[in-house]
Amino acid sequence: MPAAKTPEREMASPDILIVGAGVAGLSLATALGREGFHVTVIDGASRPQSPTANRAIADWDLRVSALTPTSIAFLESLGAWSAIPSNRTGCYTGMRVWDGHGSGRIRFDASDVNAPYLGHIVENRLTLQALLQCAETCPGVDVLWECAMDTMTHTNSGWDIRCQDGLSFCAPLTVGADGARSRVREWAAMPTRQWSYDQSAIVGTVALTSHHQDACWQAFLDTGPLALLPLADEDKVAIVWSLDELQHEQIAALSDEAFLSALNRALGCDAPEAVAVGPRASFPLRQSHAIDYVDQGLVLVADAAHSIHPLAGQGINLGLSDVRVLAEELTAGKVKGLTVDSPVLLRRYQRQRKTENLAMMAAMEGFKRGFGSQQPLAVMARNVGLGLVDQQAWLKRWFMGQALS
């Protein structure tokens, strides 16, 4: 089947080829298109349909993201934030975190740091649709659907990309924005540290008996973290329930009624009660980090470069920061007369992003290990630790600074 092209336009020979039209690929295409680069984006999937505006429990996307103010500002600068219906985003002003194994709990509020809010919970399909509108109307950007990259070979003029439908591309710079199982990273043989958490996450929409209080709720349980993320409807939350494989198999197989009982038991009396659940899905959880994000004429962004445990909800925020920094470096390079594949530019991007991504991944790993232990001493230490942080205004402000960026 021929690749589905966006509205009738002549396709210019691209300066930059982006593999993957997810949130990362489309935001990068828009950011670069606005700076006068010619960009082609290819994606193996079909063009996403316009999402429904219905609000029944089954109508919400199973995949949501907690977008930080920094990510929102970047989406705003691309024109994408205003294209997301505001009655569909859950603005949250608080976070409630507790240890399911003890009495330790901590409460963060936007007012502690004089911020109007901490973030917005947004359905992934809405972020994607908004970015697609921006990319498709941006001069210099072409988005091709049903165009899966099949092979990649390095040549003197760039990477020669062959697609399953027979199309081929060779641009001075190729960007891998093709997600956690990146074929670009694989074909370029870029060494990557990766490991499985031996956990899967159940995601779904849940209705509550009471208001979610515009707060994200996160319990650290023996079996893994459980998060309730507030949706735009005050009685609905998205859940991300990470579970060790054995428990995951058992809980994923439960009927809706039994699932709700298990969920309420897990939440205890620290969170609002769940009364209904929509369709559910599961994702295996893996952490991966490419040793290098760049190679000759090649660069990785977002999940293609790094994917982390969803417990901090930082995945797409780190990805959007990669995109912003790469777009800034390429634009600054253009002003100085550097080519898009300039190793100086690509290394500058890598230096900036690797430091921040590694720090966040190490912090998440620490949390995961610290809260994964049921040793009495570890349980006591983290309960005392949570209590201490809760009482220290400066420490709370530091944690919130991390969550807001």
Residues at the site binding ligand FAD, with contacts judged by CB under 6 A: 19-25, 42-45, 65-66, 148-149, 177-179, 183, 201, 203, 240, 283, 302-303, 310, 313-317, 319
DSSP state string for 345-396: HHHHHHHHHHHHHHHHHHHHHHHHHHHH---HHHHHHHHHHHHHHHH-HHHH
Output the smallest distance, CB 67 to ligand FAD, in A: 7
**Which is nearer to ligand FAD, 123 or 341 (by Cβ)?**
123
Whether 216 contacts 96, CB under 8 Å = yes
Output the smallest distance, CB 200 to ligand FAD, in A: 9
User: Which token pair is 252?
Assistant: 């994923």
User: 24 CB contacts (<8 Å, ≥6 apart)?
Assistant: 177, 301, 302, 303, 304, 316, 319, 320, 322, 323
Output the smallest distance, CB 36 to ligand FAD, in A: 23
What's the Cα-to-Cα distance from 321 to each of 23, 209, 245, 302, 354, rounded to whole Å?
12, 37, 32, 8, 11
Q: Which residue is nearest to ligand FAD (CB)?
A: 22
**Which is nearer to ligand FAD, 44 or 230 (by Cβ)?**
44
**Which is nearer to ligand FAD, 174 or 342 (by Cβ)?**
174
Residue 111: Cβ within 10 Å count:
10
* Sign of CA pseudo-dihedral 284, 290, 294, 297: negative
**Which is nearer to ligand FAD, 330 or 334 (by Cβ)?**
330
**Which is nearer to ligand FAD, 47 or 102 (by Cβ)?**
47
Output the smallest distance, CB 388 to ligand FAD, in A: 27
Output the smallest distance, CB 196 to ligand FAD, in A: 13
Output the smallest distance, CB 43 to ligand FAD, in A: 4
**Which is nearer to ligand FAD, 106 or 302 (by Cβ)?**
302
Output the smallest distance, CB 336 to ligand FAD, in A: 28
Element (H, E) at 240: strand 236-244
DSSP state string for 58-96: GGS-S-EEEE-HHHHHHHHHHT-GGGS-GGG-EEE-EEE
**Which is nearer to ligand FAD, 25 or 334 (by Cβ)?**
25
